[in-house]
Structure 1
Amino acid sequence: MALGPRLDLRQSQSLVMTPQLRQAIKLLQSSNMEVSAFVEEELERNPLLERDEGAERPTAADERPPDAPAPEPLDSHAAATSDAIPAEGAAPLDADWDNVYDAEGTGGLGAGGRGGSADFSDDLAGIEEMADARVSLREHLGAQIRLTFHDARERLIAAQMLAMVDAAGRLPVTDAAIATAMGCEEALVAGVRARMQRLDPVGMFAQNLRECLAVQLAELNRLDPCMEALLDNLEMLARRDLRGLMRVCGVDSEDLADMIGELKRLDPKPGANWDAAPPPAVVPDVIMRRLENGDWAVELNPETLPRVLVNRGFHARAVVGSKSKDDKSFLAEKLQSATWLVKSLEQRANTILKVAAEIVRRQDAFFRHGVGHLRPLILRDVAETVSMHESTVSRVTANKHVATPRGIFELKYFFTTAIAGTAGGESHSAEAIRFRIREMITAEDPEDILSDDAIVERLRKEGVDIARRTVAKYREALRIPSSVQRKREKAVPA
């Protein structure tokens, strides 16, 4: 066979990851907050995109025929006894607010001053911003230090401690180390630390957990010898060795329960939650509600749907006015990008709605009867029904939430592994099994603590074929201690 160059023409199909396709995939797996931020960036970059504000509803004044006389204003008694709702632009209670303070010609608020107009919308628009911003923990402590310490040396030491304290409120540095670094007496540093530990929040600047709790108990006048013995043996409390603690502290079970209750009311990390930002509110992407016939209605949340339009009129005018080839190329590129974004957002919304509707259909028993009736579900089950790939369903359910009559859940929550049933029976959801384990342990008799083997036997009687190590894994995931620890804990009345 002769060797040499030649030309062949072949046809083949392949999926090319274009920038537009990557953008669509990214939008599909992004949360509603991320999509909104992305759309805002595109609105700034692309002049052909505009926000769809929607048609404004006409007011009562707009709906009145132009030749109709304006309604006469009511006085206060007529307004109070009338069933009619005044129009938005109607003058309230016959008052001439623009001249209320100008009756004596003093040029009051009605002469252009703030508050002379009857429209207070400008004042109320930023009412949520009128609350004082919360000061940081260091600013709060710094103000107390300036009021507490008047000696220059003590204030300098206090400022050094404030700079070294961690986010939890601990100062894991010895007084000797601070004294050596600052060239002063250790007793002076110890005295400053003792006074700073009583600042608000109480318990800051402690070296360890025991000292932090001791300072808070001393502030409450509850640091007696028995409580000090309990603080010296916190590791026994962690092991729930309550009988050993009663022996060490010299108290009975009732007193020990009271002492443990007092420790639970203390703050082990007094500085941890001060500067913590409030968790962001979860805005559901899908809303479901029950219809009158008992079925479920699933719809997209309009608040999470960014509405954008392609301004084709502006594009047409710009094309006519463009003269250079670069301008026309720029407009064509922006038109293609804007059109693709609108289609991607529409496809994203339809895909989310389709997948969410299928999840609701399959988990109907959960929404009607609770988590104990959650069915096992995998991505393949939904993907085959909605004619999508498993990866697409995975992206759709990521970072998406649904508002249900039982609360707000992430769509990923409804996908759980299956636990086989006994004797070839129906399989069970792993989440439902974890819920059942928690129920059994919560309702167990303090005199008959359930071991993992006992839980396995009960579950098998209920038709669940589960191994002991699986029960132990689920129990640890629920942060439930072992039967030995629970028996020690419940040996002392709460």
Structure 2
Amino acid sequence: MQIQRPAMMQEQKLKLSPQMLQGIQILAMPLQDLQARIQEELEVNPALEVVEERKTVSIDEFSGKSGDYEAFENTSDPGNIGDYTTSYGGYDDEASEAKRKFMEGAIARPESLQDHLIWQLRLQPLPDEFFQIGELLIRNLDGNGFHREDPLELVPEEMHPALRQVMSIIQGFEPQGTCTANYQDSLLVQARLSEEVVPSSVIPILEHHLELLEKGRLKEIARQLKVPEHQIERSLEFIQTLTPFPGREYSATSPQYVIPDLMITQKDGEFVIILNDEEIPVLGVNAFFDEVLQSQGDQKEVKQFVTSKIRDARWFIQTLQQRNKTLLKVAKAIVEFQRDFFLRGPKYIVPLTLRDIAGEIGVHEATVSRLTNGKYVHTDFGLFELKYFFSNAVAGTNAKGIQYSKEGVKAILKEILDSEQGGTLSDQKLADLLKKRGVSIARRTVAKYRKELDISSSYDRP
């Protein structure tokens, strides 16, 4: 028989305080998220205030301004951090306000694909049951107009005949071809609904020979269908008038804009690292709270509340300063390791690990990982995510045993493909040319890198 007895155990656990958790979260935030986080903190902490509201400015303007602000106590303005100086400039407040009002007035929510289809569904003389099924089908469509989930799983089995009827009705709505499984299904629906004269070979081509059509093998299609080649050419002309992704016309997805956190450029033979904090307001502690603390010092509850809010405000400001300092340290270390990239371009990027940067600036690898994720840097060679500069090594084959990074190899590969003869080179030919340049990788690796560069195979390239 087992007997349970109380026992004392000693163990160690790592617990994060709310302040530490806040610091980790802010460290990982790109500028867009950080702006929202600052606004949240301003709303919940009355002791925190905006000392200076900076105006939004393009990175080109930002890099051309000068005039330093000194860092002062109890504010988030980093001023001079280490060996780097942030830059600011003056702006026309009246013009900026007019532009803001114009932009706010111009913002309008575009009609989504679902809105457009449901509006047409309401015009149909359908019973309530059919309308409910139609709404389920429409809400199940993605931005292309295709089913997200199998539509047969949306309703019980006994309702499947009604579902198929409603699906057929929606497929005829504008734009035609939505409420389908994929682009092939959509093209078939559009061809069958077309009011134009449809060549007899169109449907067989879409059903069985679409892959051959994509590769331009018209003669082979004509041979298999036993029709003249000119008929296949007419079919191709008709198919090209159809829309493979009909829902995209009504896509309500907004473009995602990237705000660079840093700018690294050359000036007078030296690298200049600029922290883009123009997007972030300068924060400070509200002086009124200090006055309240002095005048109401004998009231315990008031004193506790005011002291707590001041402490939280100062901690938040300190966390922002620490984020900026660490970001500059990481940028400086990346420049030291990737000097050839910043001098000569992406082709010369070298292998680099998180451990290399972490060891250089004296932080944990996880800190570098959080800091570089989702943050971008504007360079003389374009806009890059900080993660771009970390790449595994690909062994070289020359006498010096030079190692190339994956991104460096991809840059060399793109250079070859962009040349006059590059469009006709197969993956094996590309692998052979890379080997002559001192990069030994397999044909399948070339194919993988080519796909990551969004470049078609030699068969599909013009």
Could you say whether these structures have the same fold, taking a TM-score greater than 0.5 normalized by the shorter chain as the test?
yes
Amino acid at match of 2:113: L
Q: 2:260 aligns with which of 267, 281, 284?
A: 284
Within 5 Å, give how 1:262-301 maps onto structure 2.
Answer: 263=239, 266-271=242-247, 274-291=250-267, 293-301=268-276
Output the CA distance in 2 between the equivalents of 1:386 and 1:163.
54
Deviation digits for residues 104-135 of structure 1 (CA, Å, limit 9, x no counterpart): xxxxxxxxxxxxxxx9x789825533454322
User: 1:32–1:285: 8 Å Cα contact kept in structure 2?
Assistant: yes
C-alpha RMSD of matched pairs (Å): 4.3
Q: Counterparts of 2:409 and 2:167 in 1: how far apart (Å)?
A: 51
Q: 2:221 aligns with which of 245, 262, 265?
A: 245
Conserved in 2, the CA contact under 8 Å of 1:441 and 1:450? no
Going from structure 1 to structure 2, the CA distance change for 1:472 and 1:136 (only over 3 Å counts) comes to closer
User: Does the CA-based 8 Å contact 1:419-1:427 persist in structure 2?
Assistant: yes
- What is the distance in 2 between the residues matched to 1:465 and 1:441? 17
Stretches of structure 1 that go unaligned for 5 or more consecutive residues are: 1-13, 57-86, 90-118
Once residues 373 and 54 of structure 2 are traced to their aligned partners in structure 1, the CA distance between those partners, rounded to angstroms, is 33
Aligned CA distance change for structure 1 residues 326 and 314 (closer, same or farther; 3 Å): closer
C-alpha separation in 2, matches of 1:389 and 1:248: 63
Q: How does 1:87-98 map to 2 (within 5 A)?
A: none
- Work out whether residues 176 and 190 of structure 2, in 8 Å CA contact, stay in contact via their aligned partners in 1: yes
Q: Is the 8 A contact 1:397 1:412 kept in 2?
A: yes
Which residue matches 1:431?
Answer: 407
Question: CA-to-partner distance for each residue in 1:181-217, whole Å, 9 max, x for gaps?
Answer: 4998x9xx86x86665443212224466444213434
Label 1:363 to 1:247 Cα distance change in 2 as closer, same or farther (>3 A).
Answer: farther
Alignment partner, residue 450 of structure 1? 426
Q: CA deviation at 1:461?
A: 1.4
Q: Indicate how the Cα distance of structure 1 residues 224 and 442 shifts in structure 2: closer, same or farther if over 3 A, else same.
A: farther
Paired position in structure 2 for 1:232: 207
Offset at residue 278 of structure 1 (A): 0.9
Q: Deviations over 1:245-288 (max 9, x none)?
A: 24235578888678557646643332256344213311111123
Match of 2:141 in 1: 167
Mapped to 2, the partners of 1:299 and 1:324 lie a distance apart of: 47
Q: In structure 2, do the counterparts of structure 1 residues 337 and 210 end up closer, same or farther at CA, with 3 Å as the change threshold? A: closer
Q: Is the 8 A contact 1:173 1:207 kept in 2?
A: no
- 1:421 is aligned, of 396, 404, 407, to 396
Q: Distance in 2 between matches of 1:364 and 1:257?
A: 54
Residue of structure 2 in register with 1:401 after alignment: 376
| 5+ long unaligned stretches in structure 2 | 1-12, 56-91
Local SS of the residue matching 1:43: helix
Q: Report the identity percentage.
A: 31
Match of 1:425, SS state, is coil
Q: Distance in 2 between matches of 1:210 and 1:352?
A: 48
Could you tell me how far apart the structure 1 residues matched to 2:377 and 2:42 are? 28
CA displacement, residues 294-317 of structure 1 (integer Å, 9 cap, x when unaligned): 544221112333421012452233
Aligned length: 403
Match of residue 48 from structure 2 = 49
Matched, 1:321 2:321: no
- Name the counterpart of 2:323: 348
Distance in 1 (CA, whole Å) between partners of 2:185 and 2:225 is 18
Q: Please, which moves more after superposition, 235-244 or 336-345?
A: 235-244
| Amino acid in structure 2 at the alignment position of 1:221 | E
Contact kept? 2:47, 2:309, Cα under 8 Å: yes
Aligned to 1:214: 188
Contact 1:416 1:429 in 2 (8 A): yes
Quote the residue 1:337 is aligned against.
312
Q: CA, structure 1 residues 19+274, in 2 after alignment: closer, same or farther (shift >3 Å)?
A: same
Structure 1 Cα separation of the partners of residues 297 and 418 of structure 2: 74
Classify the secondary structure of the residue corresponding to 1:225: coil
Measure, in 2, the Cα distance between the counterparts of 1:442 and 1:128: 42
Match of 2:33 in 1: 34
8 Å Cα contact 1:456-1:468 kept in structure 2: yes
Aligned in 2, Cα 1:134/1:448: closer, same or farther, shift over 3 Å?
closer
User: Deviation per CA, 1:291-341, whole angstroms, max 9, x where unpaired?
Assistant: 3x2544221112333421012452233342243323323322222222111
Amino acid in the other structure paired with 1:38: R
3-state SS of paired residue (2:247): coil
Q: Quick one: distance in 2 between partners of 1:280 and 1:286?
A: 18
Partner of 1:99: none
Which residue number corresponds to residue 174 of structure 2?
Answer: 200
- Distance change in 2, residues 1:55/1:318 (3 Å): farther
Larger radius of gyration: 1
In structure 1, how many angstroms separate the alpha carbons of the residues matched to 2:185 and 2:222?
21
Given residue 39 of structure 2, which amino acid in structure 1 is its aligned partner?
E
Shift of the 319–396 alpha-carbon distance from structure 1 to 2, 3 Å rule, reads same
